[in-house]
Chain A
């Protein structure tokens, strides 16, 4: 391992630590609840996109059905809490574990499919999950379930008066997702994934266990996304199938990474920092009348970025870095 490489990785860790501290200080000064809400969503989508990026960016298996894992996390946590009184912290881990197991079970047949066939299979599987939950009476069917309010408590992760605990949890989630990616990037798995993405046949012939690599990426990715789903359920305290398992959620998870730079360490967070505030602002300022202008702005942005910057906005930074080297 050459020196500049280890140095660069150490520097990334340092930058991340500085950004975390800076982010942690922001809500102490910014007290507006709407702005705090946008910051929480930004961190959450950053974390989700970072997790999605592990399977779809690094390993190259484009999933458009990650809403399934998000919904599984949200539903596991909510159902365990409302029906059995299990604290959300446990529900979060249970949701993550269930999602990872389901990802492995689904990966077994799906990873034999290539390209578009894989992407469409993931949409279809998430859609089946959505339809099943919509018809599951015990879980509230299409109407969804509301989280009973039990008063502010860390054990139950409910806070009616302040958004700060949610903010710090979302920040922690983003840090964990970032750190896992950072750590995996330089692990055996990280190299396998990139080899699988670039040329699966060559990777196979060089001894990379292609199938296992994909399975590993799917499990890690699904686990983290489910934890995000659990958090979201606790945060909004009311979930219904369409709002946590719908196709649009799969896209919302993918877009920040695509925008920022797919298969890169900083891309998903950069994308989320730009995209989520923009989405929320267009929605609240021009979308309020329900006339579709927010969709037009949002959609045009996606088209323009996809065409003008296929490598993502992160390319702007790395080019400058390359010039100074």
Chain B
């Protein structure tokens, strides 16, 4: 194993890690806002990938351009899911935690079933997109362009999210609602509206990630499941509800995955991620950046 191989895989790991962060941040945002884990998060990703695929296949819109459209579609989906399902799950009089898990998990199963019914179980891909298959060489390291683009979008999204939460009225309403949902009602903020927009925003972020991933991953009804588990690990590693934690968690997960792949057979590359995750939460039960 040469130094170049190591640097090369760490660089790819970093790019993938930023994308993992982007997949996970919506989950972290929603959890931070209302203590709900969305167990259909992977299916949101799957849907975004299909949206991108169909825009490409039927309208020849390149994933680069359709990313905002996928994000918008997912924004609507997220808000609707909150208004139709999650809102009622939060009102449950018994077993609230359980109800949230199973209501969103049931939704995940329905979405997978719908995908199989309407899109079939075939593996799809977006061939010959503008960046697809192209690499760029930086100081002797080859970086695949779609992944590089994804990483840049992820950084931009995190920056934008930071400004959004800290600088806009809606961001402040979001922050206030998360701190004290009862008190915000007194100053005239509609809690349900904030929550619905929060869900929309969280889903839009994973929509962005799905659009980028559509150009270098196969698209099929169960594609969300494997990425969802990585997203949960990313969020738990960074600390549930911490947006910065999701960003840092994503980078760690990407780097650990790349390192594991250097030492262990490829089929075991996720073991490294899971082991590091367990190690972190056993030492810090609330993740790296979670509040205690």
Contact = CB atoms under 8 A, between A and B. Distances in A.
B121 A131 contact: no
A72 to B, nearest CB: 17
A22 interface: no
Contacts of A262: 95, 98
Contact of B278 (A121, A131, A132): A121
B240 A116 contact: yes
Interface residues of A, number: 46
A62 B98 CA distance: 8
Interface in A284-319: 290-307, 310-311
Nearest to B93: A310
A80 B159 CA distance: 56
Given A117-B286, A307-B92, A292 B117 contact: yes
B34 interface: no
A65 B275 CA distance: 15
- Mostly, the B contact residues are helix
Nearest to A304: B106
A293 B113 contact: yes
B229 A292 contact: no
A135 B268 contact: yes
Contacts of B109: 295-296, 298-299, 302
Given A128-B274, A299-B108, A302-B102, A294 B97 contact: no
B107 A131 contact: no
Q: Which of A109, A124, A298, A306 has the most CB of B within 10 A?
A: A306
Given A299-B113, A303-B106, A303-B107, A117 B240 contact: yes
Contacts of A298: 109, 113
Given A121-B278, A295-B110, A135 B267 contact: yes
Contacts of A291: 116-117, 120
A310 B92 contact: yes
B89 A306 contact: yes
Nearest to A291: B117
A116 B37 CA distance: 8
Nearest to A123: B229
Contacts of A23: none
Given A128-B271, A290-B121, A310-B94, A121 B281 contact: yes
A307 to B, nearest CB: 5
Nearest to B283: A109
B94 to A, nearest CB: 4
A217 interface: no
Given A134-B267, A258-B102, A300-B106, A311 B95 contact: yes
Interface string A232-254: 00000000000000010001000
A15 to B, nearest CB: 24
A112 interface: yes
A113 interface: yes
Given A117-B240, A262-B95, A307 B89 contact: yes
B262 interface: no
B155 interface: no
A95 B116 CA distance: 37
B232 interface: yes
Given A116-B31, A306-B99, A311-B94, 18 more contacts: A112-B285, A114-B285, A132-B268, A255-B102, A262-B95, A291-B117, A292-B112, A292-B115, A292-B221, A294-B113, A295-B110, A296-B114, A296-B117, A298-B109, A303-B85, A303-B102, A304-B106, A310-B93
8 contacts: A113-B285, A116-B37, A120-B232, A121-B236, A128-B274, A131-B268, A292-B114, A293-B117
